[in-house]
Amino acid sequence: MNISVLGAGAWGTAMAISLSAHHQVTLWGRNEAQLAEMAATRINQHYLPDVTLPEALRLSADLDTALAAAELLIVAVPVSALRATLQRIAQRSAPTGVLWLCKGFEAQTSLLPHQVVAQVLPATFSRGVLSGPSFALEVARGLPTALTLGSGDTEFARHTANALHHARLRVYTCHDVIGVEVGGAVKNVLAIAAGIADGLGFGCNARAALITRGLAEISRLGLKLGGKGETLGGLSGAGDLILTCTGNLSRNRQVGLLLAQGMTLPHILEQLGHVAEGVYTVREVHRLAVQLDVDMPICQTVYSILYENIPAATAVEALLSRAPNSEFQ
């Protein structure tokens, strides 16, 4: 299959590397200087400096070239750039299959990615979301990973999953696009909370409780938005939550660890140098929780730390002081 991956960040590069042994893959990025450096060194120095790009992987800074012969487009840009990228696809590409990898809600609109796609791309484009517990570095290194491909188009989902699936990348299909997307979005907020808890020295018991109660928050919002419980308890929900809350490669968890040290958010983002989606997702999660009357105390605590300037220790103390309640109420 001829595949074009749009977005030369860590995740886009990792997916391009993973698929290039089995398909003709072109990796597109908007930064011409970055792509030229990658072509010369066969390394994505900024995002994956420890991984060599396969010789078979094509690189291009020209979008027309990337779109020209692609049978499948994999959009690997952040949510903030999704709409603009889709608009360029709609203008320049003949109808084809499109997958997106981003996790979050669009700023201001609080739309999930599939809703943005529905607004921008004609119905002639087959579409789906690819998500699940996956660190880019591990995928790029060929370590075993399992993902979920969510799509309302059963035939597209089956055909595409079969094409992408290989020994080190297992791809499962799912009809519940909302559940897949909500799990992928909210887990980043909870990973910030897990980092804060770890940074404050609360221990493994607290982390386990936070992950479990965090999954309850994901489920409450996901069900309210139309997702299904089994999806939220699967790879793209519970699986991704566990990975992001416990793995040291998680940028969102790193944000939490640094917040616990008293570092300011601007300084943290400058130090990371990569996008940590949970920082922006929490604003939309907060907005939706208020609008839909969904109880999400952990996410609310992260919001208060990031955007209401409440010290991490103070906000967490308030969370721990909440009155007891029924676990499944």
What are 96-134's pLDDT values in tens digits?
999 999 999 999 999 999 999 999 999 999 999 999 999
* Set 103, 187, 224, 228: catalytic member: 187
325 in a structural domain: no
Determine which of 33-37, 216-220, 243-247, 324-328 has the lowest per-residue pLDDT on average.
324-328
Asked if residue 111 and residue 70 are part of one domain, the reply reads yes
The model's pTM is 0.96
For residue 180, tell me if it sits in a domain. Answer: no
Mean pLDDT in residue range 300-315: 95
210 and 228 fall within a common domain:
yes
Domain containing 281 equals 185-320
List residues bridging with 97 in a β-sheet.
72, 126
What number of residues does the chain have? 329
329 domain residue, yes or no: no
Query: 148 and 191 in one domain?
Result: no
Q: Are residues 80 and 217 in the same domain?
A: no
Which tokens hold the place of 237?
Answer: 């929900």
Which segment of 27-36, 212-221, 224-233, 316-325 scores lowest on mean pLDDT?
Answer: 316-325
Distance CA 263, CA 275 (A): 17
Does the structure show a pLDDT above 90 at 273? no
How far apart are alpha carbons 44 and 108 in whole angstroms?
32
Residues 16 and 77 in one domain: yes
Q: Which residues contact 138 (CB under 8 A, 6 or more apart)?
A: 145, 249
187 is catalytic: yes
| 215 assigned to some structural domain | yes
Q: What is the pLDDT of residue 300?
A: 97
Q: Are strands 43-44 and 48-52 parallel, antiparallel or unpaired?
A: antiparallel
